[in-house]
A and B are shown apart, each in its own frame.
Chain A
Amino acid sequence: MDTYGFHSIHGRACAIATGVKLANPALSVWVNMGDGDSMAIGGNHLIHAVRRNQDLNITIFNNEIYGLTKGQYSPTTKFGQITKTSPYGTIDYPFNPGELVMGAQGTFFARTLDCVPQLSTDCMTRAAKHDGCSVVEVLQNCVIFNDKTHAAITDRAVRDDRTIVLEHGKPMLFGKNKEKGLRFNGRQLEVVTLGENGITLDDIMVHDETTEDTGIHMMLAHMGGDLPVALGVIRNVKKVSYTQLYEEQMDEQMASGKYKCMDDLLNSGDTWEV
Chain B
Amino acid sequence: MILSDLSKTRKQYRAFIGKKIFIIFVFIFLIFVLSGIAVTIGPMKFSFQDVYKTIINHFHAGCFNIPEMSEAVIWKIRIPRILTALLAGFGLALAGVQMQGILRNPLASPFTLGISAGAGFGASLAVLMGISFIGGKYFLIGNAFLFSLIPAFAIFFLSRIRRISPGVMILAGISLTYIFSAGGTLISYFSQAEDLKALYVWMMGDVGKTTWADLGPFAIVLIISTVMLFWKGWALNIMNAGDETAKSLGVNVERTRIFIMAISSLITASVICFTGMIGFVGLVAPHITRSLIGADNRFLVPASGFFGAAFLLGADIISMKIVEPSVLPVGIITALLGGPLFFLLIIKRKGRQYW
Q: Do A and B come from one complex?
A: no
